[in-house]
Amino acid sequence: MTRSRPLAGILWMLLSGLCFVAVTALVKFLGPHIPPAQQAFLRYLLGLVFLLPMLPSMLNAKLGGRLMALFAVRGVFHAAGVIMWFFAMTRIPLAEVTAINYLSPIYVTLGAAIFLGEKLALRRIMAVIAALIGAAIILRPGFREVEPGHLAMLMTAVVFGGSYLLAKVAADRVSPVVVVGMLSIWVTIILAPFAYSVWITPTLMELAILFGVACFATAGHYSMTVAFAAAPVSVTQPVTFLQLVWATALGALAFNEPVDLWVMVGGCVILSAVSFITWREAMLKRRPITPPSLATKV
C-alpha cells in the first residue's frame, strides 16, 4: 500500500492550480484575435507532441468498435466544452470562468446517479443544492446582466462533466494513458472542421502562446495526477480554492478586471459542496465518482 504524503500532495496540487491559472492568463492575453474554435483546435493540435511517449501503449491497446465509439462521443462532448471555454474566456472575467467551472464535479455527481446507478443520499442532494445556490450567487440573475460568456461557461461545466463520466467508463476497460491519448486525438479531429470554417492565419507569437497553453495544460494535469498519487483527493481538493484567489488577483492586476466579492462567495460555496461530497466518498471508503475541480480542465 502506497504511503500517503499529504504535504507533497498539497504542493503538487498547488503547482497544478498555478499551471491552470497560467493557461487562463495566456488565453485571456490572446483575446478574440483568433476565433475560439481555432484557438481550441491549435491548443490540441500543438499538444499532440506530448502523445509521443504514449504511442506504444496506444498502439498495443485492443480497442473494439464500442470503445472507439465511446471515445468519439467523449471527443464530441469535450470539443464542445473546449470551444465554449475559449469563447467564455474572451467575454467574462477570469474569476468568473474559474468559479463557474467548479460546477463540473457537481454535474458529474448528478450524472453518476442518473446514468451509472450511483446512490444519491440526502447529504449529497443537499450539497448539490448548495452548489447550485453558489452558481446563483455568482450570476445574480435579475440583479445584473447574464452575458453569453456566463451561459457558455454553464454549458461548459455540463459537457466537461459528461466527458469525465465517459472517461470513468473507459478507464474500467483500458489504461489511463489510452484514455488521455484518445481524447487528444478525437478532440483534434472534431475541432478541425470548425477551425477551418473560421480560420485566420496566426502569427508566430500567437502560435507560441497557444503552444504555451498546451504546455501548461499538460503540466497541470501531470501535477494533478502526481498529487492524487501522493495524497487522498479529500486532502488535495480544498487546495483548488486558491486557483480562484489567483485568478481574481491576476484578472485585477493584469487585465484590470473588477474584483467581485459575490463571485468569490459563490465560488467558495460551490467548492465547499464539492469538497464535502469528496470527503463523504473518502469516509465511506468507496470508489470515488466525483472528480476534483481541476480534473475537468482543458
- Mind listing the pLDDT tens digit for each residue in 65-119? 888 999 999 999 999 999 999 999 999 999 999 999 999 988 988 888 888 777 7
Return the minimum-mean-pLDDT range out of 5-19, 150-164, 219-233. Answer: 219-233
pLDDT level of residue 1 (50, 70, 90 thresholds): very low
Residue linked to cell 461557461: 153
Q: What is the pLDDT of residue 133?
A: 95
- At CA 249, angle to CA 268 and CA 247, rounded to 5? 60
User: How far is residue 132's CA from residue 204's CA, in Å, rounded to a whole number?
Assistant: 42
| Helices (runs of H) and strands (runs of E) counted in the chain | 13, 0
All 3 cell numbers of residue 181? 491519448
The length of the chain, given as a count of residues: 298
User: How far is residue 136's CA from residue 115's CA, in Å, rounded to a whole number?
Assistant: 26
Q: What is the pLDDT of residue 294?
A: 62
User: How far is residue 139's CA from residue 266's CA, in Å, rounded to a whole number?
Assistant: 9
Share in percent of the chain as helix, strand, coil (round to 5): 80, 0, 20
Q: What is the pLDDT of residue 61?
A: 79
Q: What is the pLDDT of residue 69?
A: 93
pTM score, whole prediction: 0.89
CB distance 124 to 131 below 8 Å: no
First to last CA, the chain: 32
CA nearest neighbour of 113 among 296, 298, 290, 291: 290
User: How far is residue 217's CA from residue 298's CA, in Å, rounded to a whole number?
Assistant: 7
pLDDT tens-digit map of 138-169:
999 888 889 999 999 999 999 998 998 898 88
> Across all residues in the chain, what is the average pLDDT?
88
